[in-house]
Amino acid sequence: MARLDDSRPFIAVNIAVMTVSDTRTAANDTSGDALAERIAKSGHRVAERVIEKDDASAIEAHLRRWIADPAVDVVITTGGTGVTGRDVTPEAFDRVLDKRIEGFGELFRMLSYQKIGTSTIQSRAIGGVAGGTYLFALPGSTGAVKDGWDDILVYQLDNRHRPCNLVELMPRLQEHLKPAAE
């Protein structure tokens, strides 16, 4: 299972947090609070935190801004991953992703199944890469945020995690844009 190699240095990454909701405010954003606290506690930096309405175009615009910002390494959203008409976070992700990380959603639902059973099929959690930035969409419940961070992302965003992690791949995410050596 997860193993940390303490001979490797910890590398803090900059993580932008977006809560997607028509009803949450800074005063009652419990899932965003839980995520920001976990990010900071793990030694990473919360680069920016916003609340965005359930509007695919608005979510997409914000994602594109963060993807273009060299000060943002990772984007994690919470909310908007369900199956109702207002749940459009995965659709906004589809508009910006270069590559999907299929295993993220699959693993999230597998772990979630252990806690909420078949209700996990209502989650469209998704992960991917765009413009050299990692993006992950978690459901909007505080429990889902805890599961996604505590059971997956805390390890994959730690350069010391073995046998491999996403941080060590960051320098190679845009290697397809570099000219080929002659």
Measured distance between the N- and C-terminal CA atoms of the chain, rounded to whole angstroms: 41
Read off the pLDDT band of 176 (50, 70, 90). Answer: confident
Which residue, among 47, 45, 63, 46, has the nearest Cα to 55 in the 3D structure?
63
**pLDDT tens string 28-60:** 999 999 999 999 999 999 999 999 999 999 999
| Residue 69, amino acid | D
58-96 pLDDT, tens digit each? 999 999 999 999 999 999 999 999 999 999 999 999 999
Mean pLDDT of the chain: 95
> pLDDT band at 137, cuts 50/70/90?
very high
Is there a contact between 58 and 66 (Cβ–Cβ < 8 Å)?
no
Q: What is the mean pLDDT of residues 2-28?
A: 94
Structural domains of the chain, with CATH:
9-167 (3.40.980.10)
Site of tokens 């990010």: 39
